[in-house]
Amino acid sequence: MKLIIAIIKDEDNDAVSRSLTREKFRVTFIASTGGFLRSGRSTLLIGVEDDQVDKALDVIRKNCKKPGESKEKRATIFVLNVNQFTQL
Amino acid sequence: MKLIIAIIKDEDNDAVSRSLTREKFRVTFIASTGGFLRSGRSTLLIGVEDDQVDKALDVIRKNCKKPGESKEKRATIFVLNVNQFTQL
Amino acid sequence: MKLIIAIIKDEDNDAVSRSLTREKFRVTFIASTGGFLRSGRSTLLIGVEDDQVDKALDVIRKNCKKPGESKEKRATIFVLNVNQFTQL
């Protein structure tokens, strides 16, 4: 089990979250800010089986708009090992 | 040391957070949303010693209401290994 | 790669975040609450190379005000191993 923490731009959140949900990923959304100007970021928590990490990253990649002139990254993604996973 | 990331329903947050605090766990609360309808979720961060993980999970379990008709889970819990822990 | 999750007091956030940014660390800010009185906390996510962890912790340490009479900690910091790191 892995926990994906994806930090994306607010404007990409709708497309990314809908696409992840459509593909049966469970997404938790946290409002956040980042960057020099503290602009809006969406921090997504996504718990996935190990063999689903690539698919989830692919969905995120395809649904983030390409960076424009700005050098700012469109998404920063951390994949963490999960020691124990429980659902109630 | 472990970091427990517990995603629970907002309506369970009060009971869960109070009970964890009463048992001397330190809880950080983050407002979030999740699920198909983007309903309210409480994301809790709880740092615990390895031998306290089960106790913390037990407190969470006992204080989440049982799922009703809905198939939605009441809680999603990730336990992560902590590489380094510091308090100032 | 490491993910630093730093939970600090709101009043320290400005100094800590500015200093981290000045030192070229990338910081994501999440509003949160914690402690007995559920007072304001800033949860910071900072992705860093392994050899930059100490420097980042040092910046946080130097920019949190010293605890006063209260026994409350000024900062709680978790350093997590990152299994996979991607930027788009």
pLDDT in tens, C43-72: 999 999 999 999 999 999 999 987 766 667
Q: How confident is the model at residue A73 (pLDDT cuts 50, 70, 90)?
A: confident
In A, which residues are within 8 Å of C1 by CB distance? 78
Q: Which of A43, A75, A81 minimises the CB distance to C87?
A: A75
User: Which two structure tokens, joined as six digits, stand for A22?
Assistant: 């459509």
How confident is the prediction for chain A on average, in pLDDT?
A: 93
How far is residue A19's CA from residue C9's CA, in Å, rounded to a whole number? 35
A69–chain B nearest CA distance, Å: 31
Picking from A61, A14, A62, the residue whose alpha carbon sits closest to that of residue A40 is A14
| B contact chains, 3+ CB pairs < 8 A | A, C
Question: pLDDT truncated to tens, each residue of chain B (88 aa)?
Answer: 999 999 999 999 999 999 999 999 999 999 999 977 789 999 999 999 999 999 999 999 999 987 766 667 889 999 999 999 999 8
What's residue B69's pLDDT?
64
What is the per-residue pLDDT for A33?
Answer: 96
Residue C38, chain B, CB below 8 Å: the answer is yes
> What is the reported pLDDT for A69?
64
Count other C-beta atoms under 10 Å from residue B65's C-beta. Answer: 12
Residues of chain A with pLDDT > 90: what percent?
Answer: 82
Chain C contacts of A39, Cβ < 8 Å? Answer: none
Asked if residue A48 lies in contact with residue A2, where contact means CB atoms within 8 angstroms, the answer is yes
CB nearest A82 (choices: B43, B57, B80): B80
Note the pLDDT tens digit of each residue in A49-66: 999 999 999 999 999 987
pLDDT for the residue A80 = 98
B43: contact with A, CB 8 A cutoff = yes
Q: Is beta strand B84-87 parallel, antiparallel or unpaired with respect to C75-81?
A: antiparallel
The number of angstroms, rounded, from the C-alpha of C61 to the middle of its chain's C-alpha atoms is: 9
A 10 A CB-CB count for C53 gives 17
Instruction: State residue B68's pLDDT score.
Output: 67
CB–CB contact C38 B29 (8 Å) = yes
- pLDDT of A68 > 70? The answer is no
Q: How confident is the model at residue A37 (pLDDT cuts 50, 70, 90)?
A: confident
Going by the DSSP 8-state scheme, the letter that residue A52 receives in this structure is: G
Residue A18 predicted with pLDDT over 90: yes
Residues in chain C with CB shorter than 8 Å from the CB of A34 are: 26-29
